[in-house]
Amino acid sequence: MFKWGCGLEFLLVLCGLELSWSCPRHCICYTAPSTVSCQAHNFLTVPEGIPPDSERIFLQNNKIHRLLRGHFSSDTVILWIYSNNITYIEPSTFHGFTLLEDLDLGDNRHLRSLAEDTFHGLARLNALHLYRCGLSSLPNNIFQGLRNLQYLYLQENHLKFLQDDIFMDLHNLSHLFLHGNRLWSINQNTFRGLRALDRLLLHQNQIEWVDHLAFHDLKRLTTLYLFNNSLIQLSGQCLDMLPALEYLRLNDNPWSCDCKALSLWEWLKRFRGSTSSVGCQAPVNMVGKDLKELRKEDFPNCSTAPNSESRAQTHNLSGTVNPSMNRSVVIGSGDQTSVVQPSRPSRSRNCTKPRNRLSKGKEDNEVHHSKEVMADKDNSSSDFTEGGKHDHTSPDGTVTRRKHKCAPRTTMRPPSGVQQANNRAAISQSLLHVHAIFVALITTYVGSILR
Ligand SMILES: *[C@@H]1O[C@H](CO)[C@@H](O)[C@H](O)[C@H]1NC(C)=O
Ligand SMILES: *[C@@H]1O[C@H](CO)[C@@H](O)[C@H](O)[C@H]1NC(C)=O
Ligand SMILES: *[C@@H]1O[C@H](CO)[C@@H](O)[C@H](O)[C@H]1NC(C)=O
Ligand SMILES: *[C@@H]1O[C@H](CO)[C@@H](O)[C@H](O)[C@H]1NC(C)=O
Ligand SMILES: *[C@@H]1O[C@H](CO)[C@@H](O)[C@H](O)[C@H]1NC(C)=O
Ligand SMILES: *[C@@H]1O[C@H](CO)[C@@H](O)[C@H](O)[C@H]1NC(C)=O
Ligand SMILES: *[C@@H]1O[C@H](CO)[C@@H](O)[C@H](O)[C@H]1NC(C)=O
Ligand SMILES: *[C@@H]1O[C@H](CO)[C@@H](O)[C@H](O)[C@H]1NC(C)=O
């Protein structure tokens, strides 16, 4: 790989050579593929003089506050501007960027809003990072036409609501990260069209309503995280629509383990994959128990057929559900489930312990152990809920065998020279990387022991 510093450039000018590789001041440029790296230099604006043929542009960790049309060439393939202070993106900034594959706008906390057509026409876009951008809503057609998108990072925003069909065009989407928002309702058509989705992270929201048909298109989903939400119940029907599901986490919700829980209990009995604990917070005699440990006798006087409460929630396939209309169906449900507020922080760190105590009468079996390993990972989950450059790989901590899914991303990393050129950011990044590998190794090891 050739390295063209600015000093060399100056020499070339002196020699009267025609310059095809200029490089902006305070940046480092490379060729093959042509790369401009201007990270961590307190730039307040996009530096001038980025060569028009640059394929990869790295501007992370500056203080850039506006992105305007003409800042970048439409030949850009990779553009990283995460961890700046972008407050405005001119809607046409990326228009005509038909080669763009990776756009990272994450961690620009004051961004707050985006124009509907900001990403239109990005037919090759593979990864779009919008985590921690202070977004409280998304325009209707913001993801329209992104048929190549595989990774969409929307975690740690302030999203309260997702419009029906907002992901409709994302036929190729594999990872959808929505954790750490303020969502409270998942409707029948929220996730319509996501036929290739593999991983859906919805933890750390305020979800209390999941429509029975919410997951109807997610035939390839293997991983669903719903922990730390406000779910009182979830019907088995809902989960029956996920034939590929392998990893499910439901802990830290105020589950009500009365007749309402019967269909979930039945589903859990049938399910062959890994699940977290499902701690009951109501009724009084069930508080602290794990729904998975209950027996049929713990549901006296419940009819085996889908109970009346869950039938009340069924919606017609054709109709749309207005979430504000009947959220009370889930909350109230007619019995003494007077929404016991979860004592979450204390419970979460110990979620495997109460079960051991409660189930002392029963013998521990293989399944138990593997489930406990799953639950213990509650701890490591913080590694990937914080939302950073490595988000897309870290959930592999639980799904190690899917490593290849993330492989294409490794080809998009900056060349080693770019990282070396950048002092502190590079070091912390590589530390993160080492950490991620370490976690992956340990999980693989534990996984192989269990097998
Ligand atoms: C980022 O932008 C916001 C809004 O313009 C401003 O209030 C804040 O001081 C900026 N932060 C930094 C670190 O420049
Ligand atoms: C979807 O992803 C696959 C690889 O997973 C790729 O071959 C294909 O071109 C992508 N785009 C579309 C529109 O299917
Ligand atoms: C649950 O999520 C909230 C944010 O929605 C967070 O403040 C809280 O710490 C989380 N609790 C646990 C136990 O992770
Ligand atoms: C179940 O129903 C029987 C008869 O209706 C009643 O005696 C019993 O108390 C009920 N059990 C519970 C737990 O509600
Ligand atoms: C929805 O279902 C209910 C009963 O299941 C039925 O009475 C109603 O006509 C249906 N509405 C539509 C629009 O299909
Ligand atoms: C459903 O919503 C309608 C309209 O808001 C309301 O009148 C009705 O009481 C709700 N149903 C239940 C069971 O809460
Ligand atoms: C968690 O477990 C530790 C060690 O077993 C115990 O000392 C502590 O009281 C437990 N905390 C809760 C909230 O159960
Ligand atoms: C979880 O993390 C806490 C500290 O954050 C630690 O004390 C505890 O041992 C950890 N538990 C497991 C199961 O790793």
| pLDDT tens figures, 190-243 | 999 999 999 999 999 999 999 999 999 999 999 999 999 999 999 999 999 999
Say if CB 315 and CB 212 are below 8 A apart: yes
Q: What is the mean pLDDT of residues 326-353?
A: 29
CA dist., res. 280 & res. 278, Å (int): 6
Q: What is the mean pLDDT of residues 78-103?
A: 96
pLDDT, the chain, mean: 74
Distance 448 CA to ligand 6 centre (A): 51
- 204, 207, 281: residue to mutate for ligand 3 pocket, most atoms within 8 A of CB: 204
Distance 348 CA to ligand 8 centre (A): 11
With 80 as the cut, is the pLDDT of residue 378 above it? no
CA angle 164/166/170 to nearest 5° reads 130
Give the confidence band of 304 by pLDDT, cuts at 50, 70, 90: low
Say if CB 152 and CB 173 are below 8 A apart: yes
CA dist., res. 171 & res. 293, Å (int): 38
Range 415-421, long-range pairs (CB < 8 A, 24+ positions): 415/1, 415/30, 415/35, 417/1, 417/3, 417/28, 417/30, 418/28, 418/30, 418/35, 418/37, 418/39, 418/58, 421/28, 421/37
pLDDT number for residue 312: 33
Give the confidence band of 370 by pLDDT, cuts at 50, 70, 90: very low
CA dist., res. 46 & res. 32, Å (int): 22
pLDDT number for residue 57: 96
Q: Who's near 157: CB < 8 A, 6+ residues apart?
A: 130, 131, 132, 133, 134, 135, 136, 180, 181
First-to-last CA distance in the chain? 44
With 90 as the cut, is the pLDDT of residue 390 above it? no
Q: Give the tokens for residue 176.
A: 């959808």
> Where are the extended beta strands (E) located within 270-347?
274-275, 280-282
Q: What is the mean pLDDT of residues 409-436?
A: 43
Q: Who's near 336: CB < 8 A, 6+ residues apart?
A: 282, 283
Higher pLDDT, 222 or 429: 222
With 80 as the cut, is the pLDDT of residue 24 above it? yes
Higher pLDDT, 293 or 310: 293
Element of type H or E holding 450: helix 424-450
Distance 302 CA to ligand 4 centre (A): 10
- Number of alpha carbons in the 13 Å side-chain half-sphere of residue 432: 18
Please give the backbone phi and psi of residue 170, each rounded to the nearest 5 degrees, phi first.
-90, 65
CA dist., res. 373 & res. 276, Å (int): 9
The DSSP 8-state label assigned to residue 307 in this structure reads P
Give the confidence band of 388 by pLDDT, cuts at 50, 70, 90: very low
pLDDT number for residue 303: 77
pLDDT number for residue 247: 97
- pTM exceeding 0.75: no
With 80 as the cut, is the pLDDT of residue 310 above it? no
| Atom of ligand 8 at shortest range from CA of 352 | 13
Say if CB 134 and CB 160 are below 8 A apart: no
pLDDT number for residue 345: 30
Element of type H or E holding 10: helix 6-14
Verify whether ligand 4 is closer than 6 Å to residue 297 (CB atom): no
pLDDT number for residue 392: 39
CA dist., res. 426 & res. 108, Å (int): 19
| pLDDT tens figures, 145-200 | 999 999 999 999 999 999 999 999 999 999 999 999 999 999 999 999 999 999 99
Verify whether ligand 6 is closer than 6 Å to residue 328 (CB atom): yes
Distance 161 CA to ligand 1 centre (A): 27
Distance 355 CA to ligand 7 centre (A): 12
Give the burial string for 348-357 (b: 16+ CB within 10 Å, else e).
beebbebbee
With 80 as the cut, is the pLDDT of residue 29 above it? yes
With 60 as the cut, is the pLDDT of residue 346 above it? no
Q: What is the mean pLDDT of residues 303-326?
A: 39
Give the confidence band of 419 by pLDDT, cuts at 50, 70, 90: very low
pLDDT number for residue 261: 93
pLDDT number for residue 77: 97
**3-class secondary-structure state, position 411:** coil
pLDDT number for residue 103: 97
pLDDT number for residue 445: 57
- 299, 301, 335: residue to mutate for ligand 4 pocket, most atoms within 8 A of CB: 301
- In this predicted structure, which of 32-46, 179-193, 428-442 has the lowest mean pLDDT? 428-442
Give the confidence band of 301 by pLDDT, cuts at 50, 70, 90: confident
Please give the backbone phi and psi of residue 350, each rounded to the nearest 5 degrees, phi first.
-120, 30
Verify whether ligand 6 is closer than 6 Å to residue 331 (CB atom): no
What pairs with residue 224 in β-bridges? 200, 248
With 50 as the cut, is the pLDDT of residue 115 above it? yes
Give the confidence band of 437 by pLDDT, cuts at 50, 70, 90: low
| pLDDT tens figures, 258-280 | 998 999 999 999 999 999 999 99
Verify whether ligand 6 is closer than 6 Å to residue 350 (CB atom): no
Q: Nearest Cα to 85, choosing from 129, 132, 128?
A: 132
Number of continuous H segments (helices) and E segments (strands) in the chain: 12, 19
* Chain length of the chain: 451
Classify the C-alpha dihedral 189-403-433-84 as positive or negative.
negative
Q: Give the tokens for residue 313.
A: 């929630």
Please give the backbone phi and psi of residue 185, each rounded to the nearest 5 degrees, phi first.
-145, 135
pLDDT number for residue 438: 57
The DSSP 8-state label assigned to residue 290 in this structure reads B
- In this predicted structure, which of 115-119, 240-244, 348-352 has the lowest mean pLDDT? 348-352
CA dist., res. 378 & res. 252, Å (int): 10
